């Protein structure tokens, strides 16, 4: 724009030039088509600068992926934050959002967040300045802290109606309710835990050991994401239960099924990313080495806890004990689907969760 002149004789011409320029600018602006509104569930990214971690290190150029469904109401009281499970992405959770799903976007503004280390949000596999094993280790508290920053700094929310999640998303939900007790009204951890049992730690540490002892891992400097066959088999067994697996895979089908474990899955979770998320779960403890009673006293949200009785990945014991300390509502899933029980029992889980979100 032309600066305003202090000389009277130039004032009028400059004003005409200025208004003419504004008219041209306005015409040009109106000629440019408006950017289309984001579609429901479209992938988005939040740039958070550097993320400070419990270790004292920082994730450089930290960013979080996320997707949203529904609309924030005028009072900003209907937001639900939904962190992803181990190795999962926000796209994987899309099928759980809907009128008959875990959260109805006709009522709620649902934010599904890609947790740190999942390959979309900042991870060893996508960092330009801290690639692979140079990436700093993070905890579940670090995951939750970054999600809090997404909610407050990017989405400008001052409060959430609820935090909810499945598996590692449920683990983060326990962390959320202790770390930010007044930031949500409701917390719903599904097959999560406030801290792992010794059985859980054995399983997860075994996965870590299997990766690090594999020649294909090459100390994290592999050319192609390695397929570790025994890790795949371990996941098959631990994710189900003996009864469920025997029913799903017959003796006749066993040879072909077992042979299939030798073939790499092109969409397999990046092994370094897996290690980093494993590290976070292995060190997860809402009591931070203290007592569960003290951790429970920090919780102010209304809590609905859904563990699976035959879960061989996340033992239900700690979640049920924490529920007792909180006097929280529980729903024990009793099918033999193991860690997959929320899907097998969706016909009762989904309406129960929606009802709790609605205050029923």
Domain locations in the chain as residue ranges: 44-196+283-357, 200-275
Alpha-carbon span 307 to 314, nearest angstrom: 8
- Cα angle 343, 197, 267 (rounded to 5 degrees) comes to 45
Instruction: Specify burial of residue 136 (Cβ count, 10 A radius: 0-12, 13-18, 19+).
Output: buried
7 vs 272 pLDDT, higher one: 272
Token digits of residue 93: 């959770």
pLDDT at 142 over 90: yes
Per-residue model confidence as pLDDT tens digits over 267-323: 679 999 999 999 999 999 999 979 999 999 999 999 999 999 999 999 999 999 999
Per-residue model confidence as pLDDT tens digits over 101-131: 999 999 999 999 999 999 999 999 999 999 9
Q: Of 333, 349, 356, whose CA–CA distance to 101 is shortest?
A: 349
Alpha-carbon span 225 to 249, nearest angstrom: 28
Specify the fold of 44-196+283-357. Answer: Rossmann fold (3.40.50)
Residues 6+ apart with CB under 8 A from 1: 18, 21
Strands 44-52 and 58-69: antiparallel
Question: Which H/E stretch holds residue 111?
Answer: strand 109-113
Within 10 angstroms of residue 4's Cβ, the number of other Cβ atoms is 10
């Amino acid at each position: 724009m032309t600066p305003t002149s202090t000389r009277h004789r130039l004032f009028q011409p400059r004003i005409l030039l200025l208004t003419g320029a504004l008219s041209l600018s306005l015409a040009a602006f109106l000629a440019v088509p408006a950017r289309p509104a984001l579609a429901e569930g479209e992938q988005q990214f939040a740039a958070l600068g550097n993320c400070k971690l419990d270790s004292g290190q920082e994730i450089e150029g930290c960013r979080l992926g996320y997707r949203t469904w529904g609309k924030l109401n005028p009072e900003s009281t209907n937001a639900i934050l939904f962190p992803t499970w181990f190795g999962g992405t926000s796209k994987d959770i899309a099928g759980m959002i809907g009128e008959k799903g875990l959260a109805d976007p006709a009522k709620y503004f649902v934010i599904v967040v890609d947790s740190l280390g999942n390959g979309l949000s900042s991870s060893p596999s996508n960092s330009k300045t801290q690639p692979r094993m140079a990436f700093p280790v993070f905890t579940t508290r670090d995951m939750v802290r970054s999600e809090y920053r997404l909610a407050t700094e990017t989405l400008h929310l001052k409060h959430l109606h609820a935090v909810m999640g499945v598996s590692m998303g449920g683990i983060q939900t326990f962390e959320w309710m202790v770390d930010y007790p007044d930031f949500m009204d409701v917390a719903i951890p599904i097959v999560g835990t406030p801290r792992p049992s010794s059985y859980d730690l054995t399983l997860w540490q075994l996965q870590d050991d299997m990766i690090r002892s594999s020649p294909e891992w090459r100390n994290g400097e592999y050319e192609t994401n390695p397929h570790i066959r025994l890790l795949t088999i371990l996941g098959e067994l631990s994710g189900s239960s003996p009864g469920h697996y025997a029913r799903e895979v017959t003796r006749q089908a066993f040879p072909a099924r077992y042979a299939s474990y030798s073939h790499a899955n092109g969409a397999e979770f990046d092994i370094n990313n897996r290690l980093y998320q494993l590290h976070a779960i292995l060190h997860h403890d809402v009591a931070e080495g203290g007592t569960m009673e003290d951790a429970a006293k920090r919780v102010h949200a209304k809590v609905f806890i859904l563990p699976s009785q035959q879960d061989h990945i996340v033992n239900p014991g700690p979640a049920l004990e924490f529920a007792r300390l909180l006097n929280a509502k529980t729903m024990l899933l009793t099918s033999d689907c193991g860690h997959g029980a929320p899907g097998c029992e969706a016909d009762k889980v989904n309406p129960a969760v929606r009802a709790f979100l609605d205050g029923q």
